[in-house]
Structures are given as C-alpha cells and as structure tokens.
Amino acid sequence: MADTQVSGRSPVFAKAIKEGFVAGALALGLFLLIVGFRTDQNIRNELVLTQRWGLLAIFVLIAAVGRFLLTAYITPWFAARSRTKRVAAVREPSSIRKYFPKIGLLLLFLYPFVVIGVLAAYNGSWMGGLQGSLKYVDNFGIQILIYVMLAWGLNIVVGLAGLLDLGYVAFYAVGAYSYALLSAQFGLSFWLLLPMAGIFAALWGIMLGFPVLRLRGDYLAIVTLAFGEIIRLVLINWTVVTKGTFGISGIAKATLFGIPFTAGDGGFAKTFGLPMSGVYYKIFLYYLILLLALLTAWVTIRLRRMPIGRAWEALREDEIACRSLGINTTTTKLTAFATGAMFGGFAGSFFAARQGFVSPESFVFLESAIILAIVVLGGMGSLVGIAVAAAVMIGGTELLRELEFLKRIFGNDFTPELYRMLLFGLAMIVVMVWKPRGFVGNREPSAFLHKRKMVSSEFTKEGHG
C-alpha cells in the first residue's frame, strides 16, 4: 500500500517541479517588461525608467510555486475526490444547502447588530461599536445589497426572459436622476419618489423594448449597449437640466416615515433618546435596501409561478414554439423589459438618496458589465446564486481596499483596489471552468397555478352535482 503510494507520488512530484520551473520561466518572460520596468514622469516632464526587480521576483515566484502546488497537490486531490464522489453517487442535498436561503436571510437581518455588538466588545464601548460599524454596514452591507438588487432586477430580463441587456445601468440612472431632479425641483419626499422612479424607469424600459422587439442575442445586446450610452451622454450634455458632469448634489435624504435623520430636535436620535451618531441613517438605509432587494426577489418568485413568468422562461428557450402556443411574444418581451427596468429604477432612487450626489460618472458601461457578470456567475435565473456572486464580487472588491498588508509585500505605491478587474476576471474563469452554468446552474421547476386549478376543479364539480 505504502509502496504504491510512494511510487505513484514521485513521478507526479518530478512533473510538478518541472512544470513549476516552466511556469516561472514563462512568467519571467511575460512580466519582465510589464512589471520589471516602469516609466514615471518626473517633475520636468521627463520619462524616468525605474526597475522593480523585487516585484518581478514575487510575480515569478507566485507563478512557479502556484503551478507546482497545482500539479503536485491540488489536481491529484480533485481527482481523488471525484473518484470517491462517483462511488457515493446520489447524495441527498445537504441540510446546509437546503436551509441556506433562510439562514442567509436571518443573518442579513441581524448583520448590523452583530457588527455593532462585535465592535462594541472589541472597543470596550457602545459608541465605539456604533462608529466602527459605519464602514461595515455602509461599504459592505449597503454596497453589496445594491448590487444584489440590481442583479436580481437584471435577472428578470436576462435570466428569465433570455434577453441579453448590456445597458441595464441606464434604468439605474433614470431612477437616480428622477429622484434627484424631482426632489430638488418640487421637494417631494423619498417615499413618493421611490415608486415614481420605478415607474419612470419602467416606461423607459418599454421605450427601449419597442424598437428592439425583433432582435435577439448579439443584435439585442449591441442595441441595449447603445441605449445605455445614449442615456449617459444625454445626462452629460443636457446641462440645463442635469448640470452635466458636475452632477447634482445636496439631494434630500430619505426619512423614516417623516422622521429625518438630523441632529436637530425633531431628528431620529432625539426622538428615540439615542446618543447622536451618523450610523443610524446607514443602518436605516441598510434595512431599506435589504427590503427593496427582498421585494425584487419576492416579485420574481411570485412571477415565476404566474403565466407571465412562465412565458418569459418559455421565450428564453424557444420563441417560435412560444408563438405557436398562443403566447404574445411582443407583450411578453415588453413586460420583461419594463419589470426589470422598474427594479433598476428603485435601486437608482435609493442610490441617489444614499449618496446625496449623482453624476453621469456612476452610470458607465462598466457598471452594466459588472451587474451582468454577477448574473452570469451566479447562474442565470437563480436568486441565491446571484446573491452569493454579488457578495463575493462586490465584497471582494471592497475587501481589496482593506488589504493594507499587501503594501508591505508589493511596495508602498501598490493600490490593491485597482486590481478588482483582475479579481472579476479570475472569478469568471474559475466559475466558468468548474461550473459553466454559474454557481447554481440548474433551473428549479416552478410549481404552477396550484390554487387556481383547485378552485376551478371545485367549480366544475359543483356544476356537475
């Protein structure tokens, strides 16, 4: 037994060492000019060549050691695992997977208080916990949930109806500017403007939907891409209304049913007798976006069980079959665009209320691409998969800002957050290699119209009796 293992090991080892060297050499060749040298402009506008041998060595080492570990340990481990898996054959889905959505939901609702509690214990004071939690609630919680909501909204268009939309951020922009402009011009409240922003975005969705009804796939993608850019360019150039690239600042904050989050007498802290802190507003925003995201999920789940949701899914699978089954593909597509856009609009007005400032900068194509990437990575149509993808991708990006220790390795001018696209790329490759249909690739069959069927069969029984 031991003998065979050793004799099986050593050739793998030799191979791993060899491949490690090759990978190192390749990395050296690739990065020599890109990483090893760097040109800087000095104060007299001259280009100065700096050499970064240390950084280059780190890159080469990572490649060589990584390749060595992959060949020597990771690949054999996966091979062994898949062998045992085949023996185990059919397994019941583990209880963690089964209860994952419920546990996740509970954690999401408790998250701000857990953060405050942990930080309060760490700092030894209640106020310290409150102030310290600001970053975690805002940067991680709210930021991730905005993208969860956007991705769930886009999921209706891309995941369910199968209409590839590369300009989703346009509806986000419409929502944000609707709120910003209407609240500045007419002083309307957040709670009134939230649904209005959704309706405006939905109207734009229909407006986009009409001309592109006959398009599918690549052609649709190009037109929606153009639509997203048009909206952005209008926002930049229609300076009379939108103030162009300066953006709109001083947007009114949201209120808790009329109670503003201000320091003054009628403010939230005074009303409830709490110590003053800016964190209440963030926690309020956290729950607001959580509820908005859950609304998106709930509507998606409900719609999937209704004729229109099923029609969307049928449309994704086969448009011709749909038409010959009596489905009006025109209205089906338009409702998909409108519904997806509406949630984009909700998210947009929330974004404006949170930032207090909107400018066309926030609505570039990259945002559309990130949202789409989250939908694809999560598995088209799967709400849980998309939420996990958003948490990993956006949380990962935010996490990069925290990795100060990397500066000690890569040097002081290393800014980790600039590498977020690298993270996206890596995650995409990894997911697409292991799970080509996304984290959760399988479509759950939808229980369909159970209630109505029962009612109608009762009717027929009565008729017969």
Q: Which one of 187, 273, 326, 465 is in contact with other proteins (CB under 8 A)?
A: 326
Q: Which one of 25, 30, 226, 325 is in contact with other proteins (CB under 8 A)?
A: 325
Question: Tell me, what amino acid is at 99?
Answer: Y
Nearer to other proteins, 52 or 310 (CB): 310
Quick one: tokens of 430? 């990894």
Nearer to other proteins, 73 or 448 (CB): 448
Residue 431 Cβ, how far from other proteins at the closest point, in Å? 19
Of 20-28, 117-125, 192-200, 438-446: span binding other proteins (CB under 8 A):
438-446
Of 100-108, 181-189, 235-243, 440-448: span binding other proteins (CB under 8 A):
440-448
443 interacts with other proteins by CB under 8 A: yes
123 interacts with other proteins by CB under 8 A: no
User: SS in 3 state form for the chain?
Assistant: CHHHHHHHHHHHHHHHHHHHHHHHHHHHHHHHHHCCEEEEECCCCCEEEEECHHHHHHHHHHHHHHHHHHHHHHHHHHHHHHHHHHHHCCCCCCHHHHHHHHHHHHHHHHHHHHHHHHHHHHHCCHHHHHHHHHHHHHHHHHHHHHHHHHHHHHHHHHHHCCCCCCCCHHHHHHHHHHHHHHHHHHCCCHHHHHHHHHHHHHHHHHHHHCCCCCCCHHHHHHHHHHHHHHHHHHHHHCHHHHCHHHCEECCCCCCECCECCCCCCCCHHHHCCCCCCCHHHHHHHHHHHHHHHHHHHHHHHHHHCCHHHHHHHHHHHCHHHHHHCCCCHHHHHHHHHHHHHHHHHHHHHHHHHHHCEECHHHHCHHHHHHHHHHHHHHCCCCHHHHHHHHHHHHHHHHHHHHCCCHHHHHCCCCCHHHHHHHHHHHHHHHHHHHCCCCCCCCCCCCCCCHHHHHHHHHHHHHHHC
Nearer to other proteins, 67 or 316 (CB): 316
191 interacts with other proteins by CB under 8 A: no
126 interacts with other proteins by CB under 8 A: no
Of 86-94, 111-119, 289-297, 441-449: span binding other proteins (CB under 8 A):
441-449
Nearer to other proteins, 86 or 461 (CB): 461
445 interacts with other proteins by CB under 8 A: yes
User: Exposed/middle/buried for 308, CB within 10 Å: 0-12, 13-18, 19+?
Assistant: middle
Residue span 268-307 as binding mask against other proteins, x where in contact by CB under 8 A, dash where not: ---------------------------------------x
Nearer to other proteins, 20 or 159 (CB): 159
Nearer to other proteins, 189 or 456 (CB): 456
Residue 334 Cβ, how far from other proteins at the closest point, in Å? 14
Residue 460 Cβ, how far from other proteins at the closest point, in Å? 7
Q: Measuring CA to CA, which residue among 29, 32, 20 is closest to residue 61?
A: 20
Residue 328 Cβ, how far from other proteins at the closest point, in Å? 5
417 interacts with other proteins by CB under 8 A: no
Residue 318 Cβ, how far from other proteins at the closest point, in Å? 5
Q: Which one of 40, 317, 361, 402 is in contact with other proteins (CB under 8 A)?
A: 317
446 interacts with other proteins by CB under 8 A: yes
Nearer to other proteins, 266 or 307 (CB): 307
Nearer to other proteins, 408 or 451 (CB): 451
Of 76-84, 113-121, 133-141, 439-447: span binding other proteins (CB under 8 A):
439-447
Query: Could you list the residues that contact other proteins (CB under 8 A)?
Result: 307, 310-311, 313-314, 317-318, 320-321, 323-329, 443, 445-446, 448-449, 452-453, 456-457, 459-460
